[in-house]
Amino acid sequence: MRLVTYNIHYGQGRDGRFDLDRIAAAVDGADVIALQEVERFWPRSGYTDQVKRLAKLLPEHWWVYGPNIDLASPMGFPGEDADRRRQFGNMILSRWPIASSRNVALPRGARAGRTMQRGALEGIVDCPSGPLRIYSTHLDYRSAGTRALQLAALSSWIAATDPTDAPWAGDHPADADGWLVGDEPPIPQRAVVMGDLNIAAGTAEYVRTLSAMDGLVDAWPLAGEVSDAESKRGAGRIDHVLVTAGLAGAVRRVWIDDAAVGSDHQPLWADLDV
């Protein structure tokens, strides 16, 4: 399985140009894609529905979107256009069906009034080898303390989720009212967290924060045969792929796409043998 995570900076490249086509081209070829900073109907990006645009550019993928900011938009009108709201959040795309999704709110810390709401979008991907939990997330950039709280909350969420804890939230009586349609997907133990953690690899914060996580491991050092050049590029990276312990032996390769120019970040790729 080939995965990629990319903070797309709402489609704006280092050249100042907004171009979702080059974002889609940079991640095309991945089985599972985690995107951050995807927005809808913001003036700076031309009131574009970036979610729908990216879905159209990657037509072979199922997708889910989790906004962490949701505000009224000047482009919204009563009736059919009432859903044209300014949104900002995370996205997951997959070549295989996404059986269910949830948006997990992350703590904002002591400086809540000075930082935006962050979250992790969870998607249960129906992979050929069995269901896999995928998370696309973007942590706070201002405060190391807040990042530690957010990552601890996410790792605890993943570790504490029971396989029977389906999104419908438990057992229900007979489907007399037509609520249930088919079986709910189970919550698998296997999970991959991808995104912009704003924690630079190799720093004291990186060592301290990742060592405190409950059952999540950075995939980069697990790749094994990382070249010296890739090791140097990996130092200081703030985009990460984390896997649960049961997937540690499945990591085959992790690398950075230095050629992508569509954002102020670079795509981070990983191959897993699952």
The answer as to whether 176 is a domain residue is no
The answer as to whether 177 is a domain residue is no
Short-list 3, 36, 34, CA closest to 254: 3
Domain count of the fold of the chain: 1
Q: What's this model's pTM, rounded to 2 decimal places?
A: 0.92
With the C-alpha atoms ordered 128, 58, 240, 169, is the resulting torsion angle positive or negative? negative
Q: List the strands of the sheet with 251-256, edge to edge.
A: 62-71, 86-94, 32-40, 2-7, 268-272, 251-256
The answer as to whether 179 is a domain residue is no
- The band of 174, judged by pLDDT with boundaries at 50, 70 and 90, is low
The answer as to whether 119 is a domain residue is yes
The answer as to whether 175 is a domain residue is no
The answer as to whether 36 is a domain residue is yes
pLDDT, one tens digit per residue, over 113-159 is 678 899 999 999 999 999 999 999 999 998 999 999 999 999 999 99
The answer as to whether 226 is a domain residue is yes
Helix (H) or strand (E) holding 220, with range, is: helix 219-222
For 225, other C-beta atoms within 10 Å of its C-beta total 7
Decide if pLDDT at 171 tops 60.
Answer: no
Please give the Cα distance from 21 to 93 (Å, whole number).
Answer: 16
Decide if pLDDT at 246 tops 90.
Answer: yes
Decide if pLDDT at 57 tops 90.
Answer: yes
Domain span at 265: 2-75+83-170+184-272
Domain harbouring 110, CATH code: 3.60.10.10
The answer as to whether 27 is a domain residue is yes
